Amino acid sequence: MTCDRSTPRTRLATAIAVASLAGTALAEHPSRAVADSRPLGHDVSSYQKQIDWRAARAKGARFVYVKATQSDSYRNPYFSAQYNGSRAAGLLHGAYHFAVPSASSGTRQARYFLRHGGHWKADGWTLPPALDIEHSPYDARQPCFGLDRTALVHWIRAFSDEVRRSTGRRPVIYTTARWWDRCTGGSRAFGATHPLWLADYSGAARLPGGWSYPTIRQYASHGPLPGDQDRWNGTLAQLRKFADG
């Protein structure tokens, strides 16, 4: 994922774990037997600017997450073109928010996100909203944004509750096991209800507390597709069902 600032961005690897999403869980565990056919995807931000979406689809892309917002003041200036362009090319698409918990409450940032691209609709093409929460890019000495574990869990819960109230879906949570365990104390409060997008470049990363498997894995920061490279941990039919809600 990316933090849009004037200084170099931070990138992480990802994967999404689908859990029981308030009545929208997948009917089966993603099969490990279909590894070679699992749909490819990617995630993009303003750094990718204008994208040739038909070329991305020709290279195998079947879904994409597009950065919409960051904190409670930044909007991706390319969001509309990227989001609508991906759909026109036949990709399932979703929006994500880069969290800055030190700036304002989870509720406020969720509302900002929802006003500027974060809404979900049951059209068969829209993936649930995603929350990107990871090491602070602003101060290496404060990876948890200066908040303690209890405060961060409350922040994530507030963001999630507002997204659920507005869209009917719980957000996907993008993170790394290292950050999650360090900054939330390995909280198990979200694993049963929130899909996990796990940063895992090695393919052997441990899971954050509360989740039993990842559903989307971001496995590289660059590759044939624009932006970060992702793979859905299941079949294309399961991915479509995930979008359907």
Q: List the catalytic residues.
A: 43, 134
- If we measure between CA atoms, which residue out of 74, 5, 10 comes closest to residue 221? 10
Q: Encode 107-127: b = buried (16+ Cβ within 10 Å), e = exposed.
A: bebbbbbbebbbbbeeeebbb
Distance, CA of 62 to CA of 167 (rounded, Å): 23
Q: Report, in this order, helix, strand and coil percent for the chain, each rounded to 5.
A: 30, 20, 50
Distance, CA of 150 to CA of 22 (rounded, Å): 24
